[in-house]
């Protein structure tokens, strides 16, 4: 390496360091991985290590190095329209302000966005807010405008307007961070449990932002990758369980589980399909004892027998999900809560359409365009629609009208989805106590999935 004055720069989502020999580099950064770029004649590491790197260089080299990384400026944010924080929100903010890095875990509806807005105003610098979907990106834009009067930049959805205060999505951030990663000293990851994905985590790794805030109601992931949040954002600095907010910050609520049964014809077909799957696996295990479900899934694309078994499995799952008696129970609940807005959460698009057609209510799915989605949500808010049905699109991230009744008729076995759906109806509003109904097909795997996703204190009786 060259013996010139050490120089630290930002290049395509990485930090480059020149003028430091390898022995000194290893002495300065014994725990940090640097890669020798022989073509660029420099050392490289992820941009997210900027704060650690520059502090180490300042400590060992004083001012005898060049820092060309930051391309950001101080920003003064007005607090004129910020809401006052509650005691729990203040605790979250103060915990994060200690090191200005880390994850804040608070239930849906407890005001994580307000905590973030106060953090933005307290730090007083450029900010990039990263959200999982476009709808949430625009909601952040509107909240920042309302709270501070700043028309923030937008990076995504066909728009590329970069400002000192900007909003974007995870996918757009991962794409554009090699060029804008040194323009924001503060980065906020909303619904940060999405960040550990293989591509999305690049949005954090390629950013040089020394200040990092993660917001989520459900940090844990089934694949265990939530441990990466400590590395790319920081440790959990504040955690509030939904049980602590129940009846105080959030509305009190009842969780009511209703079991339904398959009709005779449904049960006959259900058991027939189950035999097809079991017989296929049993036959294959006679010659391949290690044959398992992942192998069946893999072979279903080219093995006719495996494909037949896979089709039988999905048909069996459809019977569980779309049991006829579920529709009759939904009708009874609509009658019980006449005059109250209701959201029905389904486990599949097919069931969502069944409910929509049966009760003539809007069906909100992931492919619905922005204008249609807005009309449906506004219609529920204004009372033009008494209810709506959705699959996964309303599980998180979308500001909903005041609703205190949710009916769940299907879903995965993960606790996160169940908590997100519960959070949709437990905000305090004029309707008072909330009701969370779960309709489950008894003596099927639908019942097992229900038990798995309810393994949380939030679903216990108070």
Query: Between 415 and 89, where is the model more confident?
Result: 89
Neighbour count for residue 442 (Cβ, 10 Å): 14
- 236 and 92 in a single domain? The answer is yes
User: What was the pLDDT predicted at 259?
Assistant: 96
Residues 182, 185, 188: CA angle, nearest 5 degrees: 110
- 223 and 160 in a single domain? The answer is yes
Tell me how many domains the chain contains: 4
Residues 389 and 344: beta-carbon distance below 8 Å? yes
pTM over cut 0.75 = yes
- 284 and 197 in a single domain? The answer is no
Report, as an integer, the average pLDDT of 130-142: 91
User: What was the pLDDT predicted at 1?
Assistant: 42
Q: Among 101-110, 178-187, 224-233, 368-377, where is mean pLDDT lowest? A: 368-377
Structural domain includes residue 74: no
Q: Residue 97: is its pLDDT beyond 50?
A: yes
Q: Among 144-158, 294-308, 420-434, where is mean pLDDT lowest? A: 420-434
Confidence of residue 123 (pLDDT cuts 50, 70, 90): very high
User: What was the pLDDT predicted at 279?
Assistant: 95
Q: Residue 394: is its pLDDT beyond 80?
A: no
User: What was the pLDDT predicted at 236?
Assistant: 96
Structural domain includes residue 170: yes
Residue that finishes a domain, picked among 302, 321, 340: 321
Structural domain includes residue 390: yes
Report, as an integer, the average pLDDT of 123-132: 94
- 331 and 309 in a single domain? The answer is no
- 235 and 119 in a single domain? The answer is yes
Structural domain includes residue 35: yes
The number of residues in the chain equals 462
Q: Residue 92: is its pLDDT beyond 80?
A: yes
Confidence of residue 457 (pLDDT cuts 50, 70, 90): confident
Mean pLDDT of the chain: 91
Structural domain includes residue 78: no
CATH number of the domain that 116 lies in? Answer: 3.40.50.300
Neighbour count for residue 403 (Cβ, 10 Å): 22
Neighbour count for residue 50 (Cβ, 10 Å): 23
User: What was the pLDDT predicted at 79?
Assistant: 64
Q: How far apart are the first and last CA of the chain?
A: 66
- 174 and 150 in a single domain? The answer is yes
User: What was the pLDDT predicted at 462?
Assistant: 62
User: What was the pLDDT predicted at 2?
Assistant: 45
- Helix ranges (H only) for 49-109 are 50-61, 87-97
Structural domain includes residue 73: no
pLDDT in tens, 170-207: 999 999 999 999 999 999 999 999 999 888 999 999 99
Q: Name 128's bridge partners.
A: 166, 187
User: What was the pLDDT predicted at 392?
Assistant: 80
User: What was the pLDDT predicted at 162?
Assistant: 95
- 423 and 453 in a single domain? The answer is yes
Collect all residues with Cβ–Cβ distance below 8 Å to 16 and sequence separation of at least 6: 8, 9, 10, 37, 40, 42, 43, 44
Q: What percent of the chain has pLDDT over 70?
A: 98
- 147 and 271 in a single domain? The answer is no
CATH number of the domain that 29 lies in? Answer: 3.40.1170.30
Angle at which helix 134-148 crosses helix 112-123, to 10 degrees, equals 60
pLDDT in tens, 227-238: 999 999 999 999
Q: What percent of the chain has pLDDT over 90?
A: 71
Residue that finishes a domain, picked among 67, 100, 118: 67
For every residue of 215-276, DSSP letters joined together read EES----TTSGGGHHHHHT--EEEE--HHHHBTTTBPPEEEEEEEE---HHHHHHHHHHHHH
User: Distance (Å, rounded) from C-alpha 12 to C-alpha 53?
Assistant: 17
Structural domain includes residue 80: no
- 404 and 416 in a single domain? The answer is yes
User: What was the pLDDT predicted at 288?
Assistant: 92
Report, as an integer, the average pLDDT of 69-88: 85
Domain limits for position 445: 253-261+323-459
User: What was the pLDDT predicted at 344?
Assistant: 95
Structural domain includes residue 247: no
Residue that finishes a domain, picked among 34, 67, 100: 67
Q: Name 214's bridge partners.
A: 103, 189
- 452 and 342 in a single domain? The answer is yes
- 193 and 60 in a single domain? The answer is no
- 257 and 405 in a single domain? The answer is yes
Angle at which helix 304-321 crosses helix 349-359, to 10 degrees, equals 40
User: What was the pLDDT predicted at 80?
Assistant: 67
């Amino acid at each position: 390496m060259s013996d010139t004055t050490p120089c630290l720069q930002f290049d395509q989502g990485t930090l480059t360091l020149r003028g430091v020999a390898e022995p000194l580099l290893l002495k300065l950064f014994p725990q940090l991985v640097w890669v020798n770029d022989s073509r660029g004649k420099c050392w490289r590491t992820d941009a997210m290590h900027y704060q650690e790197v520059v502090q180490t260089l300042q400590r060992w080299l004083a001012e005898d190095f060049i820092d060309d990384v930051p391309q950001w400026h101080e920003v003064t944010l007005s607090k004129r329209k910020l809401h006052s924080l509650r005691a729990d929100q203040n605790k979250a903010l103060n915990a994060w302000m200690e090191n200005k890095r880390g994850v804040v875990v608070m239930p849906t509806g407890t005001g994580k966005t307000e905590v973030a807005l106060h953090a933005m105003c307290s730090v007083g610098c450029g900010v990039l807010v990263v959200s999982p979907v476009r709808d949430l990106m625009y909601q952040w834009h509107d909240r920042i405008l309302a709270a501070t009067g700043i028309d923030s930049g937008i990076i995504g959805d066909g728009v590329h307007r970069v400002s000192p205060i900007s909003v974007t999505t995870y996918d757009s951030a991962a794409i554009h961070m090699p060029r804008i990663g040194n323009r924001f000293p503060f980065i906020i990851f909303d619904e940060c449990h999405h960040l550990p994905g293989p591509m999305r985590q690049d949005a954090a790794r390629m950013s040089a932002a020394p200040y990092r805030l993660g917001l989520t109601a459900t940090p844990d992931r089934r694949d265990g990758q939530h441990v990466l949040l400590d590395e790319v954002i920081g440790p959990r600095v504040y955690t509030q369980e939904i049980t602590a907010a129940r009846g105080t910050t959030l509305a009190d609520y009842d969780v009511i589980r209703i079991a339904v049964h398959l009709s005779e014809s449904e049960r006959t077909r259900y058991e027939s399909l189950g035999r097809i799957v079991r017989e296929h696996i049993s036959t294959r295990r006679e010659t391949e004892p290690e044959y398992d479900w992942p192998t069946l899934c893999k072979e279903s694309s080219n093995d006719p027998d495996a494909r037949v078994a896979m089709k039988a499995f999905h048909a069996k799952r459809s019977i569980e999900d779309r049991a006829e008696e579920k529709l009759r129970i939904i009708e009874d609940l609509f009658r019980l809560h006449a005059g109250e807005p209701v959201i029905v959460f389904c486990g599949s698009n097919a069931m969502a359409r069944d409910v929509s057609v049966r009760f003539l209510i809007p069906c909100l799915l992931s492919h619905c365009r922005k204008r249609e989605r807005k009309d449906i949500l506004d219609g529920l808010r204004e009372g033009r629609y008494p209810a709506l049905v959705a699959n996964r699109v309303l599980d998180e991230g979308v500001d909903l009208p005041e609703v205190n009744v949710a009916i769940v008729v299907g879903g995965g076995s993960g606790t996160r989805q169940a908590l997100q759906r519960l959070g949709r109806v437990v905000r305090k509003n004029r309707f008072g106590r909330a009701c969370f109904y779960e309709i489950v097909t008894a003596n099927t795997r639908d019942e097992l999935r229900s038990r798995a996703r309810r393994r949380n204190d939030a679903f216990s009786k108070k």
